[in-house]
Structures are given as structure tokens and as C-alpha cells.
Chains A and B, each alone.
Chain A
Amino acid sequence: MSKYVLLYKGFERFWHWMQALLIIFLAFSGFEIHGFYSFLGFQEAVLYHNIAAYSLIVLTVFAIFWHLTTGEYKQYIPTFKNIKAQLDFYLLGIFRNAPHPTKKTLLSKLNPLQRLTYFGLKVVLIPATIFSGLLYIFYRYPGIYGIEAINIGSLKIIAIAHTACAFMLVAFLIGHVYLTTTGEKITTNLKAMLTGYEELEEEVEEEKNGNQ
């Protein structure tokens, strides 16, 4: 028995897709600033990169608020239980059409590998990117008595850290997009993130409810 469940709520989907758009645009404009290619023009790339960066920060603040108030942050607490089974699935089982080793439920919609990855993304990589980005912007800033500078010897460390973060985010993005195809059907996960609904097995749902 299975039924359609609202797995991803309205805000969650809005946040996810906005974040996706912003990060893709930030990577695109950011690597232009880094000197890889010339498309928007350096000045324009910097301008739009900064606007997108501020938008991402605002979005992130809202997302943190939403996660804390709804308790959804618990979804991301890493667990090492079943991690081997999940790894085995991706490395072997998936080729043999084996079933997913962990069941997706409303209260635990992420598998152990996802938990670990997203935890790293949200607690380490995105904060590091935003923090180095803020330093990049406010390394020089207009003060009351003219332009002032923070007490850091050189932009070099900040810029290199920010670039390293960007590379990791792009690598994550590629892996992430590919892994959306590993649901029940190729488009299952994508559809769920678009519509919010996914077909989940009901008994597990009841079991969970029973436990509460």
C-alpha cells in the first residue's frame, strides 16, 4: 500500500529552487570574476554577483528560521546507521535493481548519505562560502571618514578560500543533479521537489505514527 504525501512544503520548495538558481548564477558570474571567461563583463559580473550574494544570504536567513521553527533541521542530523547499506546500494544494488535500503518517510526523508552530505553542505560549505564572500565584499568598506579596511594583510587568502568553496559547490551540484535520477523512477525525485508530493509506502508511515 502506498499513498501520495506532501513531502516538501511550499516554503521548502521555494527555498530549494531559489537557492539552486542563485548558486548556479553565482557560480557563473563568480568564475567570470575569477578570470575563466568573459561573458557579462567584469564590472557587471561583480555587480550581479554581489546582488545574488545578498539575495542568497537573505534566503539563507529565512531558511534557517524555517528549519529551527518547524524542527525540520532534525532531518539533517547525521547518522551512521545503515550508511554501509546505502553505500552498497549506490555501488552495487542500483545496478541489480535492488530496492532502496532505507525507507523514505515524512519524518525521515533523507537517507544516511544524504544526511551526511547535506549536513556538511549546510554547516560547513555554505557558511564558509558566505563568510569568505562577506569578507571579500567588506575587505574594504565605506566608513564615516572615508574608505576603511579590515585588518587583514591581503585579499589572497579570502579569495582563494572563496574560490575553493565555489569549486566544491559546483562539484556538489553535478553530483546532486545526477543523484536525483536514482529514485524509484528517474524523475521521481525531481517531480517530488517540483510538486511537493511523492508516493510513499503507507505501512511505514503508520509504523512511525504508531511509535509516536
Chain B
Amino acid sequence: MRNIFLGLAFGAIVFVVIIGVLKNREVEKPLLLELKEKYTGRKDIKKVDHSKFENLNKNFKEPQEVTKECESCHNLTAQEIMKSNHFNWEREEYIKGKGIIYLGKKNSINNFCIASHGNEKSCAKCHVGLGLDENGNMVLDAENIDCMVCHDNTETYMKAPERGGEPVKTLNFEKIAQNVGNPKRSNCGVCHFYGGGGNNVKHGDLEMAQFSPDKSVDIHMAVEGVNLQCVDCHITTNHNISGKLYSLCSMNRERVTCEQCHTETPHKENIINEHTLKVSCQACHIPVYAKVNSTKIYWDWSTAGKLKNGEPYVEKDELGNHKYMSIKGSFVWGKNLKPDYIWFNGSASHYLMGEQIENPSVPLVLNPLFGSYRDGDSKIIPVKIHTARQPYDPVNKTVIIPKLYDPNKGSGAFWKDFDWVKASEIGMKENGLPFSGKVDFIETRMYWPINHMVSSAKQSVQCVECHTRKGSRLANLTDFYIPGRDFSKIVDYGGTLMILFTLLGVFGHGGGRIIAFYKRRGKQK
């Protein structure tokens, strides 16, 4: 009787365990599969058909007329745009040691085309406004918001070159206005893929191949994969687009993270999840960047201005990239690059206009990213480092903002007249900064975090690429211990020596015994 009860009880336990195991399997669908199902083969379901609106059914001559019609229905949207950095080209930022400042494309200094103010006619092609006033300043009112550049779904909208943000006037605005919708990769890409004056010049991980990439270029944007659009991750509320890059931003806020979809512990193996405390997802999952086209990694302004027969010229390297341009200087490009790695806690500083350089003999970092192993908020992130030699004033010890673009020769703009002193004088004056009349060149660096061009899990960085004595990807991060890379010299040399002495002792002692044995045998004979 007792045995029957025990048997039944045992059977019941086994049954419950089996049910439990099977049930768990059913419920716990892998997150990755869930995400794939959610995003694969989505159809763009329109809620509004703009072609049915009568006020969009007219022959628009000027882009401002379109904006006016947009705002006649979306009558509070202009306020959102006029608060956005895409329109204002600045944000309120707090920088440690520098306080609260308003920083953006309007007033920041980089080591590509250096600065925008004074060169708007060329630079503002990527402004979400519709053009400049007669003084060459951007017009920041509701009428001059460029709705179409982001919302055109026909892929026909185009800004005119060197017209300060105006579109090409011959476009069919009527068709565009009737076909507006959520921004696609093509809308964001026309500016963000070409930053720095050409494809992939600035970022290295954002380029025209991502208009319709395959999985090997970008696992997320791949057309045959989940085909994510920029705004799927860069979640936007009230025209405030999340995610920003530390070439311009300083504060740890409104960031886009991998974790927002993938969670903080997405791996099956705990030991890999444990890495996420200190290692960003990007560090392992973006093994190389600039996968399709090259990106600029070095820019030497000091060689600019050479002329052939009085005319500026261009030289290309074997991949077809500009090696030399009279207007810009010499370049080095890189393709399929392994990123550099740094500690980063989400906040950055910036070299500000007119700031005095403390030590011009060391490279000036224009956007230092903060972080270290000891800092609990820091993680290792991959970056592209862009190095340049750019003009600076050796007397005032400031980076020079030269006047680069002007449509006319004789205006003093460097791209027309190739005179550094004159271009610097005008540029500095337009920005309200002192200029000594002397031009020298200083080495500068910029850190560009790499966040796109994520590879498949199989192609991610392998353990041994960091955990190795020679050629570790993290060879430059020396403020902490990595198993396989680091060791204590005392312990390693001491330990090896100890083992050698032990072996020596063993062989000495054993040898002695063998000799003694044969000696004894000889005596016995």
C-alpha cells in the first residue's frame, strides 16, 4: 500500500516537472525571434491620404506655399519644429567645467569643414529651413520650415546646391505634398550619409550603402531582413528625435540604445551577459565600419591652396577617393576599419569658439569623451578617430574659423582665392573673434562613436580578439585587467623560474640517484 502511494507521488512529481519544462518552452519565445516577427515584412499603413486634400491640389511655385498648407492643418506643429535642433542648429547643453551653453551646428567647431557660420550658403543645404535672408543668415520662422525634406515619400525632393537650404525650384511640389508620410531612410540619409561634404566622410558607419543595404552591411537596415527605418530606433515624440552624436552633444540624455529592444542581458551565456556591465553592445557587434565605401580618417588643411596653371585641382587615390583637393588639402581614407575603443560614460566636452588652447604642441581633442574603468557609468565603446591639421592662430592660441565659401572670386573666401590670411580675417570677423594676422596649423582629433553597421551575431568580435597578449583590440585601454591580455611580470617570471628550478631539482636529484645506483652496482661486482 505504502509503495503504491510512494509510486503515485513520484509519478505525480515527474508529471508536474515534465509539464513545467514543456510549458516554459512554449512561453519563452526567444526575444530575437519576437523582434524579427514584429518587424519583418511590415506594411506601411497610411492613416491619412494627403492626395485627397483639396488645398494640396494646386500648382505650388514656392516651397513656402507648401509649408503654409501643411501648417493650415498641423497648426501647432511649427512650435515643435522651432524648438528642435534640426531647425535651430543648437541645443541647450551642460558641459562640465564650462556650464550651460547653447551648442550646435550653428557655432561648433569640427575638424572637417571647420565651422558653418559665414558659410551657410553651402552648409545650410542640410538645414530643415527653406533658405537664407539677404544678409546670408538662416531664416528661423514658421513659414520657412522645410517640411518636405523629412516627410517627402516620393524620393524626389532635392535641395539646391549652394542656395542655403532652398529646394530645386523645378520640383513637382504638388506631387510631393500629396505624398508625405513618416520619414524613411532616404529622408534622413540625404543629409546624414553625406556629412562633411561627401558620402561617408564624417561618420564612417552612416553612408549611402544604407539606403538599401544587405545583411552583411547592416543587420538592422537590411532590406531582405527586418528593414528598419531610422525612426524605428530613433523614436520621435513631438518632432523631438531621440539619439544624437557626441560630435555636437554633451549630455547623457535622450540616447538611443540597443537595450531598448534587446534588453541588457540578451545572451544565452551568462559570462557574455556579464560583459555588458563594462562593454557596450556596439564594441563587439560592430567589428568593422566603413564596410562598403571609405571614410575620411585624416585631413590636412595645411597643404590646401596649391594650384595648377592658376587653377585648383583634384587628385584621386586608387579607390577613387579624393587624395588631394586644392580647396581642402590632403586626405587619408580608410575602408573596412577596425574601430578604436575608449571608455565613455555618456557625457562629453567640446572645444568652443574662441577658447584658448592650453598646449598647442599636443593634439587638441575637439570633443573629449569622458569615461574610465573606475567610473561605474562608463562602458567601452567603438569610435572612429578623425585626425586633422587645421588652421589656428598661434598668437591668440585659438582655432581659426576661415571664410571658406562665397560664390564670387575676390571675396576673400578660401575656396575662391586660396589666401589663408584673408580667409581667416573675414571668417573670424564674421564670428566676432579676434585674429592676429598669423596662420599656423594645429593637429586636432575628433571622436565619432560608431553605432550603426551592426553585423550578425556570427560575425561579432570573438573572445580572443581582446583576450590575447598580442594585438588585442583593447590594447590601448590599459587602466584595468583583461584575462589573457594582462599578467603580473613578477608572478609570471617568478612562477616560470620556480617551475624551472623544480625541474632542475628533479633532474639533478634523479640523475644523482641513477649515478649512485650504477656506482653501487659496480662496487658489488
Give the B-binding residues of A (Cβ under 8 A).
Answer: 33-35, 38, 41-43, 46, 90, 94-97, 140-142, 146-147, 149, 153-156, 159-160, 163-164, 166-168, 170-171, 174-175, 178, 181
User: Please, which residues of chain B bring their CB within 8 A of the CB of A168?
Assistant: 495, 498
- SS class of chain B's interface: helix, strand, loop or mixed? helix
Within B297-322, which residues are at the interface with A (CB < 8 Å)? none
User: Please, which residues of chain A bring their CB within 8 A of the CB of B467?
Assistant: 33, 35, 42
User: Please, which residues of chain A bring their CB within 8 A of the CB of B494?
Assistant: 167
Q: Does B506 contact A (CB under 8 A)?
A: yes
Partner of A142, one of B273, B492, B505: B273
User: Please, which residues of chain A bring their CB within 8 A of the CB of B505?
Assistant: 175
Asked if B499 and A142 sit within 8 Å, CB to CB, the answer is no
Asked if B273 and A147 sit within 8 Å, CB to CB, the answer is yes
Asked if A164 and B513 sit within 8 Å, CB to CB, the answer is no
Given contacts A147-B276, A156-B486, contact A171 B271 (CB under 8 A): no
Q: Does B503 contact A (CB under 8 A)?
A: yes
User: Please, which residues of chain B bring their CB within 8 A of the CB of A163?
Assistant: 487-488, 491-492, 495
Q: Please count how many residues in chain B sit with their CB below 8 Å of the partner chain's CB atoms.
A: 42
Asked if A141 and B516 sit within 8 Å, CB to CB, the answer is no
Asked if B513 and A94 sit within 8 Å, CB to CB, the answer is yes
Partner of B510, one of A43, A160, A181: A181
Asked if B265 and A146 sit within 8 Å, CB to CB, the answer is yes
Q: Does B502 contact A (CB under 8 A)?
A: yes
A38-B498 Cα distance, complex, nearest whole Å: 23
Query: Which of B45-53, B404-412, B451-459, B477-485 lies at the binding interface?
Result: B477-485
A43-B465 Cα distance, complex, nearest whole Å: 11
A120-B15 Cα distance, complex, nearest whole Å: 50
- Of B276, B491, B510, most buried by chain A (CB within 10 Å of CB) is B491
Asked if B488 and A160 sit within 8 Å, CB to CB, the answer is yes
What would be 30 A-B contacts, judged by CB atoms less than 8 Å apart?
A: A33-B484, A35-B487, A42-B462, A42-B464, A43-B462, A43-B463, A46-B463, A95-B512, A140-B277, A141-B270, A142-B265, A142-B270, A146-B264, A146-B265, A147-B273, A154-B480, A155-B481, A156-B480, A159-B483, A159-B486, A160-B488, A163-B492, A167-B491, A167-B495, A171-B498, A174-B499, A174-B506, A175-B502, A178-B506, A178-B510
User: Please, which residues of chain A bring their CB within 8 A of the CB of B273?
Assistant: 142, 147
Q: Does B274 contact A (CB under 8 A)?
A: yes
Given contacts A41-B464, A42-B467, contact A178 B499 (CB under 8 A): no
User: Please, which residues of chain A bring their CB within 8 A of the CB of B485?
Assistant: 35
Asked if B481 and A38 sit within 8 Å, CB to CB, the answer is no
User: Please, which residues of chain B bring their CB within 8 A of the CB of A154?
Assistant: 373, 480-481
A146-B270 Cα distance, complex, nearest whole Å: 10
User: Please, which residues of chain A bring their CB within 8 A of the CB of B265?
Assistant: 142, 146-147
Q: What sequence of 0s and 1s flags, for each residue 259-277 of chain B, a beta carbon within 8 Å of any chain A beta carbon?
A: 0000011000011011111
Within B508-525, which residues are at the interface with A (CB < 8 Å)? 509-510, 512-513, 516, 520
Nearest CB of A to B523, in Å: 11
Asked if A38 and B464 sit within 8 Å, CB to CB, the answer is yes
User: Please, which residues of chain A bring their CB within 8 A of the CB of B468?
Assistant: 35, 42
Nearest CB of A to B325, in Å: 45
Given contacts A34-B484, A38-B464, A155-B480, contact A171 B499 (CB under 8 A): yes
Asked if B464 and A167 sit within 8 Å, CB to CB, the answer is no
User: Please, which residues of chain B bring their CB within 8 A of the CB of A94?
Assistant: 513, 516
Q: Does B469 contact A (CB under 8 A)?
A: yes
User: Please, which residues of chain B bring their CB within 8 A of the CB of A97?
Assistant: 516, 520
Q: Does B374 contact A (CB under 8 A)?
A: yes
Asked if B513 and A95 sit within 8 Å, CB to CB, the answer is yes
